Amino acid sequence: MSEKYKVIDSTIPTFITITVVDWVDLFVRPVYCNILDDSLNYCIKEKGLSVHAYVYMSSHIHLIVSAADGELQNVIRDFKKFTSKKLIEAIKEFPESRREWLLRKFSYEAQKSDRAKNYKLWKDGFHPVILDTLEKIEQRINYIHYNPVEAEIVFHERDFVNSSYRNYEEENNVFCNVMVEPLW
């Protein structure tokens, strides 16, 4: 990992993007998003991860995260490894019209890589960007929450289910599926 993309201080909110190989549109079914929810919540409870904002787009996820124990890179590595296995299992188990194509695609990516055995679902890395000012934090939170609007999936941020937007909306008592620690 180059210095540009290295986590310097895991305790500072960090913007990361985790992307499916070749930008495959995987997160189009609730079952796959539920795996991400459960995995993030596990990392929050058991690995010291703090999730401050997130959005699941069809081919990638954006997060603002920190880790009190200074092990953000390890937590994200474990998250990617675990979710990769669970997502492949779900593709095999649940109704999926693209099952054969997805499994061939992820198998092909594993063969190209020396890091994966049978399937490679996630691109390497996660491009951490330290958010060390309030201005940077606000800009990235707004970017994350506006992403589904920009992609023309919804008309307003509050309408996108797989996002932390509702945790930042005033006078809203409906929260998202991930245990978010808002930054304000």
Answer yes or no: is 77 within a domain.
Answer: yes
Q: What is the pLDDT of residue 107?
A: 96
Band of the pLDDT at 68, cuts 50, 70, 90?
confident
Residues 6+ apart with CB under 8 A from 91: 99, 102, 103
Answer yes or no: is 106 within a domain.
Answer: yes
Using DSSP, state whether 103 is helix, strand or coil.
helix
Dist CA 17 CA 10 (whole Å) = 15
Q: How much is the pTM?
A: 0.92
CATH number for the domain harbouring residue 112 = 3.30.70.1290
Answer yes or no: is 44 within a domain.
Answer: yes
Answer yes or no: is 177 within a domain.
Answer: no
CB-count exposure of residue 168 (10 Å: 0-12, 13-18, 19+): buried
Domain count of the fold of the chain: 1
Using DSSP, state whether 85 is helix, strand or coil.
helix
Dist CA 54 CA 64 (whole Å) = 6
Answer yes or no: is 143 within a domain.
Answer: yes
Residue 63 is part of which domain span? 3-168
Instruction: Summarize pLDDT for 94-145 with one digit per residue, the tens.
Output: 999 999 999 999 999 999 987 768 999 999 999 999 999 999 999 999 999 9
Answer yes or no: is 132 within a domain.
Answer: yes
